[in-house]
Amino acid sequence: MPAEFYKYTTVGTAKLIFETCRIRWSAPSKFNDPFDFAIPLTVPFEFSEVLEPFLRKYEEVLYATDEPPFVAENQFTPMLRELRHEMRKLPRHRFRAENGDLLAGAVSTFENLLALEAKRWSQEAEEFRLLCVSQHHDSILMWSHYSDYHRGVVLRLRAIEALDTPLCAAYPVRYSETIPTWVTKEQWIDTACGLRAMDVADFYAHALTKHIGWAYEKEWRAISERKPGELPGFADALFYPEEIDAVYFGCRVDPKDRAILLSMLTGQWSHVCAYDAVPIPKAFALEFRKVK
């Protein structure tokens, strides 16, 4: 995991960050990718395919001598514990004959469960707040797209373990040609049998996948949830001054804006270094010259 990350932004936003010691975390609806946090939950199998392996595992769970390693967070665990007591009255060899309705209705049950999880995900997704950063500061495209056509700045942010800063728990964005699937057949069966919870990591892995066309961003994201009283859409969160340790000025930055930002690098910001981006004459690339 990188120890440093980079935030591309405009001069105006950078001034606000240094004035307030706050940085914006945004809801997914504010992103420029309509697929962000909006990919439908899908599974890479037909539910008819899981009926037989599900029934085998379900039977094993109900008739195991010792209680299976049920997961307390699984919504089916209380019901399965009760059913294990009920199954003492039903010999195992009669289980399938007595539970034909279970098998017949399993497909619709699974479809309903997927629909419920998909609805829950769509409702909860907008409650997330994300701090989006990059692992590089020299992307010509990123400077154009997020730093006002090279007239803005890039801030270098540190992940500081001693302060337990949010970027210490940042997730890398994955890039793919195809829409990601949610859970495997085995994971689905284990969940239906109380042996696995629908973990938040399942949702994160799903939500942190973007089309390969975005790979140039080399993005990482810190994820939080909307706190009581916060406005819809975003949160301007306080951070430690030590988290910013450098500012890079775009090659087209207005000299007046550059001078204002340099003048702000005093007091709690006196440790912040400053660099000018300069186009390399014989390459499609930038170099950075230290000015503070």
pLDDT tens-digit readout, 155-188: 999 999 999 999 999 999 999 998 888 888 999 8
The C-alpha atoms of residue 68 and residue 194 are separated, in whole angstroms, by 9
Residue 88: pLDDT band with limits 50, 70, 90: confident
The C-alpha atoms of residue 205 and residue 61 are separated, in whole angstroms, by 28
Q: How large is the average pLDDT for residues 88-101?
A: 83
Q: Is the pLDDT of residue 103 over 70?
A: no
Diameter of the chain by CA atoms? 84
pLDDT tens-digit readout, 127-158: 999 999 999 999 999 999 999 999 999 999 99
Q: How large is the average pLDDT for residues 69-88?
A: 92
Among 72, 37, 77, residue whose Cα is nearest residue 203: 37
pLDDT tens-digit readout, 264-274: 999 999 999 99
The C-alpha atoms of residue 272 and residue 241 are separated, in whole angstroms, by 9
Q: Is the pLDDT of residue 259 over 90?
A: yes
Which one has a higher pLDDT value, 3 or 104?
3
Is the CB of residue 81 less than 8 Å from the CB of residue 70? Answer: yes
Which one has a higher pLDDT value, 11 or 85?
11
Q: Is the pLDDT of residue 200 over 90?
A: no
% the chain with pLDDT above 90: 66
